[in-house]
Amino acid sequence: MRVLAGETLSPPPLWLMRQAGRYLPEYRETRKQAGSFLDLCYNPDLATEVTLQPIRRYGFDAAILFSDILVIPDALERGVRFDEGHGPRMEPIDADGIARLDPSKGPAHLAPVVETVRKIRSSLPLETTLLGFCGAPWTVATYMIAGQGTPDQAPARLFAYREPEAFARLLDILADMSADYLVSQIDAGADAVQIFDSWAGILGEVEFERFAVRPVRRMIDSIRARRPGARIIAFAKGAGTLLRHYRAGTTADAIGLDWSVPLDFARELQREGAVQGNLDPMRVVAGGNALDEGIDRILDQLGQGPLIFNLGHGITPQADPDTVGRLVARVRQGHGHHG
């Protein structure tokens, strides 16, 4: 929370995207009890358990709510399901479907997730920050329009050009539902929240402004109008130089950086406030020198400003839990020249 307020700490605080997940044997055990992946997301006891597992094992400085960005389309009754080996699937939506969307059932549908936040906060050590999260409107919209993940989000990009009014309405609905959802997470005990725009990097600059910046700004304005102290991290993966305007445009407190962001550019972004990232998750899989060098470079280049150490995207299932332990130890020892 101190770094989100702009302080520089050495060593920096540390958490990892997808820190609760398939690389941990204890997660796989709990997941078996849940039935389906979505059942796990909506089961407050089990979702709390998997959120706490990496905190018990590694003592990260933040726990992040275990859930999924697609609970929002699920609340909009889009028939979300997770097919083994295929990722998420849902009914693709068209302009008529967008006109008929009814967000009113959102709060009741998402109540178990909010309950999970409450349970995690009451079980979490006081010094551990609790992060809530949701997907950004653009990224969630890409899944709703295609009905699944795609390599380049061509369906959503094309739909946005062909049906600009319907697409704008979809983004507004998602922004408003997501803002309400994050406010309810904050009220249940989340100290800060992260907005994941995993597909922002596929957008040209005009579209980035329209579909990535503005909907997130709408969310943040709405959250802060109601909860003025709210701390918000925005992660626009793959956005590259468009990140230069992203913090000012969205007013987020911190900007998440994927691993492709050059560290000298990251230092420029850091002059405006906290940055989070950005170790390549493959360095965690590789371990050894690849891991150590990657950590040291980030600490060297970004350690003199407000930094939350993290990966540049989620930890992968093939990561070895012991290697993650080595990462934590190295960051905490403040390796690099300035620790």
Active site annotation includes 31: yes
Do residues 153 and 92 touch, judged by C-beta distance below 8 A? no
pLDDT digits (tens, 9 = 90+) for 35-72: 899 999 999 999 999 999 999 999 999 999 999 999 99
Q: What is the pLDDT of residue 1?
A: 98
In the chain, the domains with their CATH numbers are 25-332 (3.20.20.210)
Active site annotation includes 231: no
Q: What is the pLDDT of residue 263?
A: 98
Q: What is the pLDDT of residue 94?
A: 98
**pLDDT for 22 beyond 70:** yes
Q: What does the angle CA 13 – CA 15 – CA 20 come to, to the nearest 5 degrees?
A: 160
pLDDT digits (tens, 9 = 90+) for 152-198: 999 999 999 999 999 999 999 999 999 999 999 999 999 999 999 99
Which candidate in 23, 31, 157, 181 is catalytic? 31
**pLDDT for 284 beyond 70:** yes
Distance between CA atoms of residues 296 and 334, nearest Å = 8
What is the rounded average pLDDT of the residues 308-330?
Answer: 98
Q: What is the pLDDT of residue 74?
A: 98
DSSP lists the bridge partners of residue 129 as 62
Residue 84: how many CB atoms within 10 A of its CB? 7
Look up residue 132 and give its amino acid.
G
- Tokens for 172? 């507004």
**pLDDT for 337 beyond 70:** no
Which candidate in 61, 68, 74, 180 is catalytic? 68
Which candidate in 143, 197, 247, 258 is catalytic? 143
pLDDT digits (tens, 9 = 90+) for 100-158: 999 999 999 999 999 999 999 999 999 999 999 999 999 999 999 999 999 999 999 99
Choose among 26, 15, 21, 186: nearest CA to 117: 186
Active site annotation includes 22: yes
**210 pLDDT tier (thresholds 50, 70, 90):** very high
**pLDDT for 339 beyond 60:** no
